[in-house]
């Protein structure tokens, strides 16, 4: 997969290969996180978009019809007489309409009218002493409402979805701050097919695709999300990750069970690397309190009391055990080494390499650490995926982000990382010779 970016946020131009592991290094505030956020927004807004739109249409039909029927039943001349029946009758008619329309792939106006008429007929008006003309008027009004909902162009709905999703992740700043009037564009190339987006005034104005995105993107920017499980977050990336981590608790106990068993049967090498750091199992108490249970400990440890570094591994453990990581998904890790001791940085780097190898993930990693960078480089050789790792160095040129591919020369990244050490060596020399 190739990602092409123009005039998006701080990035003027960037061509990034996302196939295997993509490592992006650079100083703070040089646009490293932008790549991952673009992928997260794109995959999770577009994946399954047809089902999402269909679901929203039906929800709007149900809510709209319930309100409409309530108005007819309870707010007319016989309001007091019928108020006891209004809620249940309104809901029953609306549900019947939705059920009938769901059976049709793309209902036309006649089919919609017939679905509404049958629903009203099936529920019956025996308890409502209304004139036949009034019932017909209500039925016609309901059909018009449903027809209007289905008449909304799919393209406009998709653009609204993209505008909202990107807007929340990027805080309504998709267009360049330096040239706000310029158009921002994103293009994704996958096996000679493409997806194209354009943004103007921080709204998505273009979406064209000749390929469907079938996978999700998981974004992990800090391990503290484990402390806030089952709480509402304003950040969409946190909410999405929380949903994955708590799916077994809040959903059906069977959710993800096949994927989880397959992972445990197939990925013994990954589990060995993970269990070397996370010794124990995640348990839930009181319905929504998460703990790490270990035989050597007298009692389970609450997630907020775990070390910050350990939480980073616990997140991966939970995602794997609940079958939330699937083949060919996208995983975005924003500076995962920040809270890790150098020894655990090395362990985490091997875990990433193994996840890519066995799940065929597309992993985007941003980093500041030479230990972490070196570990990914060496473990990719050890585990046979060296050719699936690409390296980029981000920097600022004339207030624009420059994303340079250095896959064949990662020494440039080490040189950038070594500059603080050189600065300290110079200071030490001056102090010793002052």
Residue of 141, 328, 324 lying closest to 250 (CA atoms): 324
Residue of 219, 225, 221 lying closest to 311 (CA atoms): 225
Q: What is the Cα–Cα distance from 405 to 403, expressed in whole angstroms?
A: 7
Contact present, 85 and 73 (Cβ < 8 Å) = yes
User: So what's the pLDDT on residue 76?
Assistant: 52
User: So what's the pLDDT on residue 80?
Assistant: 43
Q: What is the Cα–Cα distance from 100 to 98, expressed in whole angstroms?
A: 5
Query: Rounded to whole angstroms, what are the CA distances from 2 to 72, 176, 186, 390?
Result: 55, 21, 11, 12
Q: What is the Cα–Cα distance from 303 to 227, expressed in whole angstroms?
A: 6
User: So what's the pLDDT on residue 320?
Assistant: 83
Alpha helices in 83-108 (DSSP H): 86-102
Helix (H, G, I), strand (E, B) or coil at 23: strand
User: So what's the pLDDT on residue 127?
Assistant: 54
Contact present, 339 and 306 (Cβ < 8 Å) = no
Q: What is the Cα–Cα distance from 101 to 146, expressed in whole angstroms?
A: 10
Q: What is the Cα–Cα distance from 23 to 11, expressed in whole angstroms?
A: 17
Length of the chain, in residues: 434
Half-sphere exposure of 326 (CA within 13 A, CB side): 10
Give φ, ψ of 426 to 5 degrees.
-65, -45
User: So what's the pLDDT on residue 85?
Assistant: 53
User: So what's the pLDDT on residue 214?
Assistant: 87
Q: What is the Cα–Cα distance from 37 to 344, expressed in whole angstroms?
A: 25
Contact present, 174 and 202 (Cβ < 8 Å) = yes
Considering only the C-alpha atoms of the chain, give the largest distance between any 2 of them, rounded to a whole number of Å: 103
Give kind and range of the element (H or E) at residue 13: strand 11-17
| Domain-wise residue ranges, the chain | 51-151
User: Which value, to the nearest 10 degrees, does the dihedral of the CA atoms of residues 416, 418, 419, 425 take?
Assistant: -170
- What is the chain's pLDDT, residue by residue, as a tens digit (434 residues)? 999 999 999 999 999 999 999 999 988 888 899 999 999 999 999 988 888 888 888 889 888 888 887 777 665 555 444 444 567 777 888 888 888 888 887 899 999 999 998 988 887 655 555 667 777 888 899 899 999 999 999 999 999 999 999 999 999 999 988 888 899 999 999 989 999 999 999 999 999 999 988 889 999 988 888 776 756 556 788 878 877 776 544 445 556 566 556 656 656 778 778 877 887 778 777 666 788 888 776 788 888 888 888 888 888 988 887 778 888 999 999 999 988 988 999 999 999 999 999 999 999 999 989 999 999 999 999 999 999 999 999 999 888 898 999 999 999 998 888 777 778 888 888 888 86
Q: What is the Cα–Cα distance from 397 to 392, expressed in whole angstroms?
A: 15
In eight-state DSSP terms, residue 8 is E
Give kind and range of the element (H or E) at residue 250: helix 247-250
User: So what's the pLDDT on residue 249?
Assistant: 47
Q: What is the Cα–Cα distance from 329 to 352, expressed in whole angstroms?
A: 13
Q: What is the Cα–Cα distance from 378 to 395, expressed in whole angstroms?
A: 25
Beta strands in 108-216 (DSSP E): 184-190, 193-200, 203-209
Contact present, 139 and 117 (Cβ < 8 Å) = yes
CB atoms near residue 192 (< 10 Å) = 7
């Amino acid at each position: 997969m190739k990602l092409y970016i123009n005039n998006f946020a701080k990035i003027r131009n960037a061509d990034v290969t996302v196939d295997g592991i993509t490592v992006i290094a650079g100083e703070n505030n040089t646009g490293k996180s932008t790549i991952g956020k673009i992928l997260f927004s794109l995959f999770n807004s577009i994946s399954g978009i047809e089902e999402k739109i269909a679901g929203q249409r039906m929800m709007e039909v149900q809510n709209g019809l319930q309100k409409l029927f309530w108005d007819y039943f309870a707010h007319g001349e016989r309001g007091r007489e019928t108020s006891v029946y209004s809620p249940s009758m309104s809901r029953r008619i609306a549900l019947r309409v939705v059920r009938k329309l769901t059976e049709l792939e793309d209902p036309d106006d006649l089919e919609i009218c017939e679905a509404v008429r049958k629903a009203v007929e099936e529920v019956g008006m025996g308890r409502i002493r209304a004139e036949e003309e009034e019932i017909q008027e209500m039925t016609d009004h309901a059909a018009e409402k449903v027809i209007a909902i289905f008449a909304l162009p799919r393209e406009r709905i998709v653009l609204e979805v993209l505008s909202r999703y990107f807007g929340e992740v990027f805080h309504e700043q998709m267009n360049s701050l330096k040239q706000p009037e310029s158009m921002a564009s994103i293009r994704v190339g996958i096996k000679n097919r493409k997806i194209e987006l354009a943004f103007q005034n921080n709204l998505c104005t273009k979406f064209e695709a000749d390929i469907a995105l079938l996978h999700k993107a998981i974004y992990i920017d800090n391990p503290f999300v484990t402390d806030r499980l089952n709480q509402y977050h304003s950040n969409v990336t946190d909410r999405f990750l929380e949903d994955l981590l708590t799916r077994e608790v809040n959903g059906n106990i069977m959710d993800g069970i096949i994927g989880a068993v397959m992972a445990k049967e197939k990925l013994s090498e990954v589990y060995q690397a993970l269990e070397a750091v996370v010794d124990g199992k995640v348990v839930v108490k009181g319905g929504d309190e998460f703990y790490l249970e270990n035989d050597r400990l007298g009692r389970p440890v609450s997630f907020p009391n775990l070390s910050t570094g350990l939480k980073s591994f616990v997140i991966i453990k939970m995602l794997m055990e609940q079958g939330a990581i699937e083949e060919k998904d996208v995983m975005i890790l924003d500076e995962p080494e920040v809270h890790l001791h150098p020894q655990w940085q090395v362990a985490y780097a091997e875990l990433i390499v193994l996840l890519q190898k066995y799940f065929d993930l597309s992993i985007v990693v941003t980093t500041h650490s030479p230990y972490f960078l070196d570990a990914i480089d060496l473990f990719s050789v050890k585990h046979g995926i060296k050719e699936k790792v690409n390296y980029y160095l981000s920097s600022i040129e004339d207030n624009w982000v420059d994303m340079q591919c250095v896959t064949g020369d990662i020494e440039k990244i080490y040189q950038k990382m070594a500059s603080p050490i050189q600065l300290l060596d110079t200071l030490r020399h001056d102090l010793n010779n002052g």
